[in-house]
Every structure is written in structure tokens, then in C-alpha cells.
Amino acid sequence: MPRLETRPQERRPFAGALLIAALCGVPSVAAFADGCPDASQDIVTDRPSVTNSSVVVPIGSLQMENGINWTAHPGQGALDGPNTRFRLGIADCTEMLVDLPDYTGGIYGHGPVGFSDIAPAIKHQFGGLPAGTNLSATVGLALPTGAQAISGSGYNPYLQFPWTQDLGGGWAAGGMMSTTWLTGQPVSETVFQPSFLIDRQVTSHSDVFAEYIGDYQTRGLPGQMLNFGGSYRLTQTQQIDFHAGVGLNRNSPDYFVGVGYSLRFDGLW
């Protein structure tokens, strides 16, 4: 997932999030093994859309997703990267992931400069759903290791539910409901970020998408963005991607662009 904006989050909901992680992270293998991804399938990544994949990496596989973004706000522009996410399949339908710190540097204007937080998480893909439907849950915590101007000073728990639905004929719909609890500030704040996308498979190796992202806070104005992009699979386990988008109101970036490369290693155990 390309990083368009970084925020902090809240302690009480994190206790509930840990409970959800425990329930999601220890599935019944017998119940879900038939629908779990395996190493014979093409690489599926959480980028270049903001909406994450609803499919986890195969068990025993390590996937590295990387990218770099250019974001322009009124009077300032910044480059951030590398947006690096490691994803490791630890059980059937379950992965551990971690977002490594990336560096944001202002090219012009006076925007914030520094590293983002490191953010580990666990993700589980649910089984027993109708054919063509995928749903997963991710619970994670951004640790206050980065610059305060970039990601705040508190511990940042978040909860996400990405989903996809096959529409036939190479078309698919998807989206994600994401909630972040912001801490480390005088008044705690919750951020709700819904997204929705339409994806079209162009060839057996490539696809394109169009995506809407909302950014709603308990305080302040919402953000609204459109994101467009695509990906090309060089091999079954390698992918390059691009995306570009625009903000729809004054609380959003003017525009943003990014490129990325992802690689999966299979059969680690």
C-alpha cells in the first residue's frame, strides 16, 4: 500500500484489536486450508492501490513490496521512500507483515521531514465464502519510532478489512474499511478511511484499476482522493507497478505519483 499520509492512534481499542488478532490469527486449518493461496499462484500485492489485497501470501513464502512516491500539496512537494512492506506466510490463510520506516524529504516548500514509524501487523484471510469473494482482516500497531512531525508520538493501532469480488469477464470490485486510533496528543482521535476500486485484467500478466479513497476524522475536514494505476507481472513472483492520483478537496494532496517493485520467495520451509 503506497503511503499517502501517516497518522498516529489509541490504547483502549488496541486491547480489543489484540483479541481480534488472536481470533483471526489462529484459524482452524481444516476449515480454511482448501481456500488458502499456494505458491503455484501469481504474486498478489498490497500495492499500488491504497486498498490492500484481500489475499494473504502462501504459507512459507516471504514477499517484499517496495515503492517510492512523489506528493504535491499547495506550496510544497515531497518525495518519500522506500515504501517497504515485508509479508510472511506463517500459517494457512495467515501472514505476518511489517511496514519499515521510510523517509519523507521536502523538495520545495516547508513540509515535514523525517522517518515514519515501524508498523508490525497480522493478517488473516477468511474461508467459507462464496466463490469469487475474498475477505481478510488486518490488525497492526505503528510504534513511535519515527519523527513526530511525520507520524506523531503515540502508539498507533489500526484495523483493516480488505475485500474483493470477482465480477466476471476480467473485472473485479474491491475495497477496504480501515480504522486508526490516534494517540500521543492532548485529544485522542479516530480516523476512518474507506476505499473502493474497480480492477480490470488487461492481459494474463497485467491489470489496471481506478480507486476512491476517503479520509474521515473525528476532528477536522475529510480528505477525498482518486487514484489510478496498474501492475505488470514480470514473472510469477515479480511485479512492477505504478499509480497516480489527485485530491478532490483542499484537505487532500494536489496530486501524487508512485512506482514500485515487488518480489516473492517461496518454499522457505
- The predicted structure's pLDDT at residue 20: 39
Average confidence (pLDDT) over 26-31? 36
- The predicted structure's pLDDT at residue 183: 87
Percentage of the chain exceeding pLDDT 90: 74
The pLDDT of residue 36 is above 50 = yes
Summarize pLDDT for 48-91 with one digit per residue, the tens. Answer: 999 999 999 999 999 999 999 999 998 899 999 999 999 999 99
pLDDT tier, 152 (very low <50, low <70, confident <90, very high otherwise): confident
Percentage of the chain exceeding pLDDT 70: 87
DSSP string, 110-167: S---EE--BEEEEEEE--SPPTTEEEEEEEEEEBS-S-HHHH-SS-EEEEEEEEEEEE
Average confidence (pLDDT) over 139-158? 92
Whole-structure pTM value = 0.86
DSSP string, the chain: ---S------HHHHHHHHHHHHHHHS--HHHHGGGS--TTSPP--S-SSSSPPSSPPPTT-EEEEEEEEEEEETTEEEEEE---EEEEEEETTEEEEEEPP-EEEEEESS---EE--BEEEEEEE--SPPTTEEEEEEEEEEBS-S-HHHH-SS-EEEEEEEEEEEEETTEEEEEEEEEEEE-SSSS-EEEEEEEEEEEEEEETTEEEEEEEEEEEESSS--EEEEEEEEEEEEETTEEEEEEEEEESSTTS-SEEEEEEEEEEE----
Domains of the chain (ranges plus CATH)?
11-265 (2.40.160.40)
Average confidence (pLDDT) over 179-199? 88
Q: Is the N-terminal amide bond of 8 cis, ω within 30° of 0?
A: no
- The predicted structure's pLDDT at residue 186: 62
- The predicted structure's pLDDT at residue 4: 53
The pLDDT of residue 24 is above 90 = no
